Structure 1
Amino acid sequence: MIKQYLRPKSLDEALAFKAKYGDDAVYIAGGARLNAAPTQNEREVAVSLSALDLKGCEKTTRGWEIGALTTLQTLVDHPELPEGLREAAALVYSRNVRNQCTLGGEIAAGLPHCLIVPALLAMDARIEITEGFGNVKVQSVAEYQNGLITKIIVPAEVYACFNQKVSKSAADLPIVNASFVVHRSHEGVESYAVALSGSSLPVSMIPVETSVSAFLTNDISRQDLEKAVSNAVSCDSDFRASAEYKQEVSGVLVASMVEAYKVKGQ
């Protein structure tokens, strides 16, 4: 339960507050995850980031650089961002929640059912973190809990991104959430990445690039691709679905996205 609310006016002041109160303090942006079950915060000191200049989207030579306090709704509404990133943000059903959730907060929360992190993982997005950690991969953020995310960088090589989820209702946590990303170099060389998450499925990359490539070149069937993805997924049963169901659905979702890219003409 939060008993003390601090509102620093600068990044240095925010870091100083966190250093002072240590594990008793937590950074808070929109508060969508810290104030709601099942991720409600138990710490007593909240260090608000609302006054910090960590918002906005800018295209640079590195790709798209997005401030950590940029809301998911801002991503959805931004016409120039990669379409797949906007679609991933829109998977969060409620517009009210999207207006409250920040991109940095979604990453920092580290939830197994996060809807946008799989897309960022598959995009090979990087994160800038304070406290000397510098530039790290999205999946590495759990190792830097004392640092503060300031920026997310989506590489310029992202050519296409597809997202799909299965849930019991539009507003429910996803049983399985999948993202498929195509990276294309300046020379036209393509590489592929798949990431998954779910209600009890850790957000993770799935090593199926060889199978994806084989399907796109008609060397294997869609059924073979589905099987390869299902075999690569590690998950647990929970009250929403069995592990076997999640594995099967993962294969179907990924194969559907890869097929959509294939039909689109690559």
Structure 2
Amino acid sequence: MIEQFFRPTTIEQAMDLKRRFQHQAVWFAGGSKLNATPTKTECKIAISLQNLPMNSIDWDNGTLRIGALTKLQQLRDTPSIPQALYEALGFIYSRHLRNQSTIGGEIAAQQTESVLLPVLLVLDTQLLCADGQLLSLEDYLAAPDDRLLSEIIIKKPFDHCSTGKISHSAAGWAVITAAVAISDNQEYRIALDGVGEKARRLHAIESLTLAGEELEKAVSNAIHPTDNLLGSAAYQRYIVGILISDLLTDCRQKEERSK
């Protein structure tokens, strides 16, 4: 239970509080994750980010820059964001939840299933931290910590990209979420979440540039799910291969239509 709640008005104040309380304190943005199982916090001190200036959405020479405190619904309502990102935001079924959750919080929560991380990974997303450090989303996911994220930077917003989610109901947990992107030089980027502990790129599969049944088989052999309440391991391997193959086909169709 949170017993102390601080409301800093500058990033410097927020960082000072975190240095003071360290692991006893948690960043508090929208609060949708800290108060919900299985991401409920055990920290007794919360540092609110509500008053910090980190909720802007800007274009910078073809790069999309999103403040970490931008609410998901605010982002979805923004014109000209990548279509695949718009669709992924809609995978979060509740509009009320989208009005509460922030994009920085969705990344920092490190959920076992996140519908946004695959599309962000294939769009070559980078993260700017409050201390000025810039790192790729993939590097952050590989070694997560409690650093304060200030900006999400999408480097390849115009790449042809498709994303999809498999679930048993619109509001239910995702069995799998995946995304595929094709760059201008025909390089594939493939990411998924729901199989394993965290979202990840499938670099070994990307380099093979496969399609159709060959891609389905390669993806199925590259993942190692376990039986759970959402489906057997065999079902998960099968459905992931089908989904990624379909997304690649959709990307290619988008590419053809744009010529």
CA 1:67–1:230: 2 relative to 1, 3 Å: same
Q: Which of 194, 199, 203 is equivalent to 1:203?
A: 199
Identity of aligned residues (%): 33
SS across alignment from 2:239: helix
Return the offset for 1:125.
0.3
Aligned to 2:186: 190
Are the equivalent residues in 1 in contact too, given 2:181–2:248 (CA < 8 A)?
Answer: no
Letter in 2 for 1:128: L
Return the offset for 1:109.
0.5
Letter in 2 for 1:139: E
Are the equivalent residues in 2 in contact too, given 1:108–1:141 (CA < 8 A)?
Answer: no
Aligned to 1:253: 243
Q: Structure 1: how far apart are the matches of 2:195 and 2:222?
A: 17
Are the equivalent residues in 2 in contact too, given 1:9–1:51 (CA < 8 A)?
Answer: yes
Letter in 2 for 1:181: A
Aligned to 2:108: 108
Q: 4+ runs of 1 displaced by more than 4 Å? A: none
Return the offset for 1:62.
5.9
SS across alignment from 2:152: strand
Question: Greater CA deviation, 229-238 or 168-177?
Answer: 229-238
Structure 2 portions without partners, runs of 5+: none
SS across alignment from 1:227: helix
Are the equivalent residues in 2 in contact too, given 1:92–1:98 (CA < 8 A)?
Answer: yes
Matches within 5 A, 1:87-102: 87-102=87-102
Cα-to-partner distance string for 1:109-152 (whole Å, 9 max, x where unaligned):
111201101111111200001335x1111122253523100000
SS across alignment from 2:154: strand
Are the equivalent residues in 2 in contact too, given 1:72–1:90 (CA < 8 A)?
Answer: no
Q: Structure 2: how far apart are the matches of 1:196 and 1:263?
A: 21
Matches within 5 A, 1:105-254: 105-131=105-131, 134-142=133-141, 143=143, 145-156=145-156, 158-184=158-184, 189-198=185-194, 201-207=197-203, 208-211=205-208, 213-215=209-211, 222-254=212-244
Is structure 2 residue 44 aligned with structure 1 residue 47? no
Aligned to 1:218: none
Q: Structure 1: how far apart are the matches of 2:70 and 2:178?
A: 23
